[in-house]
Amino acid sequence: MADRKGAYGGAPASDTSFRKTWDREEYAQKALDRESRIKEEGKAKYEAAISGKKYHRRASTPPDARDTEARRTRLDVSAQIGKTMLVPAGSAVGKRGKGAGFWCDACDLTFKDNLQFVEHLNKWRSQKSYVGRCG
């Protein structure tokens, strides 16, 4: 009865043996980094106030937006003005297939006006799946 062991043997049981142990050096370093960042931001706010400007903290760029790039060519929507196309009889229902309006050949979708068509080209799914083919 003199030696206390846990129910599973090994180390002696205690009420707090299940708790996480914290790395004090790591969190001390994080606190120092945070304090220095706050000090730099305060200095930038002070300098902005002296110069009569408002301080805006720069937000970090989201990781999915870092790989985006501008369209290399302009959309030539005006070239389709006055064109006449024969449309099959069953194509008026839904967006799938070639119908009356703007047609994306890569996605096989038809749009009634150029705003919907441009919005489609700017969506990430269209750009991701059909890079260079859409538009």
- Paired with 102 in beta bridges are 111
For residues 77 and 50, state if they share a domain: no
C-alpha R_g of the chain: 31
For residues 33 and 56, state if they share a domain: yes
For residues 41 and 85, state if they share a domain: no
User: What pTM did the predictor assign?
Assistant: 0.34
pLDDT, tens digit (0-9, with 9 covering 90-100), for 77-110:
788 777 776 666 555 555 655 657 777 777 777 8
For residues 84 and 47, state if they share a domain: no
For residues 46 and 82, state if they share a domain: no
Q: How many domains does the chain have?
A: 2
CA-CA distance, 57 to 53, in Å (whole number)? 13
